[in-house]
Amino acid sequence: MSKNIPLNERIIFALDVSSHEEAMALVEKLDGEIKFFKVGLQLFLAGWFQTIDAIIARGNKVMVDLKFFDIPETVKLAVDQLKNRGVTFATVHGNDPILRAAIQDKNGLKILAVTVLTSFSEDDMREMGMTGSIRDLVLLRSRKALELGCDGVVSSPLEAQPLRDELGENFLIVTPGIRPGANIENEDDDQVRIATAKEAIINGADHVVIGRPIRDSSDPIALIKELQRDIAAGLATKG
């Protein structure tokens, strides 16, 4: 798998807003620096394909993060709705039959398997009666997803290094839970398995997903450039 990823596509900006108009205002403000945007459940329900199409029409890439989880035939049909629209990534969350259905007829769309949400902690594992570690669960789910033919996985930056060590380089790792260094310890953060962009890249991530820190910054362009410098430094460290 080719990994010649431009710096302006390394950050996937999470458009976690409630309207098409808000989303496009952010895209127009940021796409001189960032060329990859994530559309999740909130925005998709507000703007449907109008927003996705408008982002792509401006020459940008889109990750549709709907975490498809349903019976296999329904997931296959959902992926069918995306595959000819210019979408780059779609996320799927489920067992083997669900993942197998998602990849049946991708037609250039890259399918990313969601492993364990970044809001999930070891305490949550215990409460659900699971005795293993999050790391082990992420590795198990990732190995299976790649064997089935998924193009990559979504994991926290903390699992990127063991994923690379165990499974190699020939797949994509997309990591949410990215925070600028000054905000890495935030008590109000709903994501618990977090890291800086530089740490994530050194650990093996290909793309980092960042939303609120950029959106809420007093100077988002300056922050993006700082993050991109960190990513470039991480890539240089990897050699």
Q: State residue 166's pLDDT score.
A: 93
Q: Given pLDDT bands bounded at 50, 70 and 90, which one contains residue 193?
A: low
CA dist., res. 119 & res. 142, Å (int): 18
Q: What confidence tens digit (pLDDT) does each residue in 6-46 have?
A: 999 999 999 999 999 999 999 999 999 999 999 999 999 99
Q: 152-187: per-residue pLDDT in tens?
A: 999 988 899 999 999 999 999 999 988 886 444 444
235: amino acid identity, one letter: L
**Domain spans, the chain:** 8-238
Q: Which of 67, 106, 110, 144 is catalytic?
A: 67
Write the CA distances from 54 to 49, 158, 176, 186, 214, integer angstroms. 8, 34, 24, 34, 21
Task: Report the mean per-residue pLDDT for the chain.
Answer: 89
Q: What CATH class does 8-238 carry?
A: alpha beta
> Would you give the DSSP letter of residue 159?
G
More confident residue, 68 or 126: 68
Annotated catalytic residue 238: no
Model confidence at 215: pLDDT above 50: yes
| Tokens read off for 86 | 């210019």
* pLDDT the model gives residue 168: 94
* 112-161 pLDDT, tens digit each: 999 876 666 666 666 766 666 778 888 889 999 999 999 999 998 889 99
**For 90-111, how does the pLDDT look when each residue is reduced to its tens digit (9 = 90+)?**
999 989 999 999 999 888 899 9
